[in-house]
Amino acid sequence: MAKLILASASPRRREILALAGLPFEVRAGSGEEQAHGTDPEEIVKELSAGKAAEALEGAEDGDIVVGADTVVALFGTVFGKPKDEAEACSMLRSLQGRAHQVYTGVSVWKKGSGRICTFAEATKVHVLPMSDREIREYVKTGEPMDKAGAYGIQGRFAVYVRGIEGDYQNVVGLPLARLYGYLKEYREELQ
């Protein structure tokens, strides 16, 4: 029986994929995330494919590997995970009071078949104005340190989100409905 393998260490992606009701295992890569280029859609597609390719190496024929990566984009600037609190504060100062895009790239590969699908999903997020004090207090919680754009929409930052246009799960880290559409054809193999 084929296994579904999530090539990500993100606890949020594990939670989202669990919603699909399919059994899966986690096989996070150890490689450093490096993308070439500046287009956010291409960046997340490249990074998700790299994660999937790394996990595919240890998979068996027939296994289905899902890699994913998320970035935030504002006026042509791409934000990944902040390297420290100062960078997290800087990112949030840029995002507060504005709308920005969250891009998640997903790569679905079936080992041994040559079947590869890579796509990107974009969701627009509208953030309320934030004071410097609110930004510093939020960063001090530690919540933004492992998240693209320095915030977690599903956490304390939710009070600053005026609204979204698109897939909420995409902002959390995995566009589940679109991914499930691709996984449906493999459903019998995975059960």
The continuous run of DSSP H or E covering 172 comes out as helix 168-172
Buried b (16+ CB within 10 A) or exposed e, 58-86: ebeeebbbbbbbbbbbbeeebbbbbeeee
Q: Is the dihedral of CA 149, 155, 157, 161 positive or negative?
A: positive
User: 161's torsion region: left (phi>0), alpha (psi -120 to 50) or beta?
Assistant: beta
143: how many CB neighbours lie within 10 A of its CB?
Answer: 17
Q: E-strand spans in 8-114?
A: 25-26, 64-74, 77-79, 99-110
What whole-number distance in Å separates Cα of residue 76 and Cα of residue 154?
25
- Cite the active site residues: 69
The continuous run of DSSP H or E covering 5 comes out as strand 4-7
**Residues linked to residue 122 through DSSP beta bridges, in sequence order:** 103
